[in-house]
Amino acid sequence: MRNLKVMTAYRGTNYHGFQIQSNALTVQAVLEKHVSKVLNEPVVITGCSRTDTGVHANNYCFNVKTESNISNIGFVRGVNGELPDDISILSCEDVPLDFHARFDCKGKEYIYKMHCSESKDPFSTDLAFHYRRPFRLDKVREAAKYIVGTHDFSSFCADCSNVSTPIRTIYSFDIENSGDSVIMLVKGNGFLYNMIRIIVGTLIDISEGRFAPDDMPAILEAKNRLAAGRTAMAHGLYLNRVFYSEEELSEG
């Protein structure tokens, strides 16, 4: 028996998230179908995270156990030869049998992409959130500083009923701007359901003056979803990196 650690990337537009569902097309379902064909045995893959409908991934990790002796490069080439154009296998390596893509994950980095212009970008229709109003980077950067650190993020969670604790640590929150493009990079040890989309939506509300930047501590302290702002659109969000060691996370 082997345990393969596989990195993949996908465009989430056509999928109802990663995790398999009985009544909708998901990334996991497509991967399991084609990985099973290449390995010549039925397999169940274990993903590092759920992603919502329309969310993308630049680097997503899953592991799969197999009796196959296929080479790592043979796996990459074989599965890529079967997959649709919106999913790609990036790498494959053998790992210990007890490696678990989800439970061994030490942290993740997400990015949120915005196209800030009156005119739409036909090349990023489903890959970045088109925002038509002026985006106040000064206000947003000031507010984002309050997110960094260890906090109870209940105000930024769509449903916290199934988590043991809403406390998470955000290591960095950077906002990059080039022309009409705004990219937010968020690195943390874990994220609640819709957490980043609600944070981004709240930052958009701050840009529009619905909140002031220094309202962010009070929003966190409220521990109430109704205290925060809107939920940003899913298609601007990407799982960007997954970290499996503390060193990797701190260096990231």
DSSP line for 183-217: EEEEEES---TTHHHHHHHHHHHHHTTSS-GGGHH
To the query of whether residue 52 is one of the catalytic residues in this protein, the response is: yes
Domain limits of the chain?
A: 2-95, 107-251
Tell which residue, 241, 238, 242, has the closest CA to residue 114.
Answer: 238
Q: What is the pLDDT of residue 140?
A: 97
Q: What is the pLDDT of residue 159?
A: 87
Full-model pTM: 0.94
Q: What is the pLDDT of residue 149?
A: 95
Q: What is the pLDDT of residue 161?
A: 79
Helix (H, G, I), strand (E, B) or coil at 119: coil
d(CA 17, CA 35): 18
Q: Looking at residues 233-252, what average pLDDT do you find? A: 88
Tell which residue, 31, 46, 41, has the closest CA to residue 69.
Answer: 41
What is the biggest distance separating any 2 CA atoms in the chain, rounded to whole angstroms? 59
Of 1.10.287.110, 2.40.240.10, 3.30.70.660, 3.10.150.10, which CATH number belongs to 107-251?
A: 3.30.70.660
pLDDT higher than threshold 80 for residue 109: yes
Q: What is the pLDDT of residue 252?
A: 57
In this chain, the answer to whether the domains covering 2-95 and 107-251 adopt an identical fold is yes
The enclosing H or E element of 142 equals: helix 137-144
Q: What is the pLDDT of residue 102?
A: 95
Asked if residues 76 and 91 have their Cβ atoms less than 8 Å apart, the reply is: yes
Q: Tell whether domain 2-95 is in CATH 3.40.190.10.
A: no
d(CA 158, CA 122): 31
**Residues 154-167: tens digit of each pLDDT:** 999 998 878 889 99
d(CA 97, CA 236): 35
Selecting among 52, 121, 126, 174, the annotated active-site residue is 52
DSSP line for 8-53: EEE-GGGSS-SS--SSS--HHHHHHHHHHHHHTS----EES----T
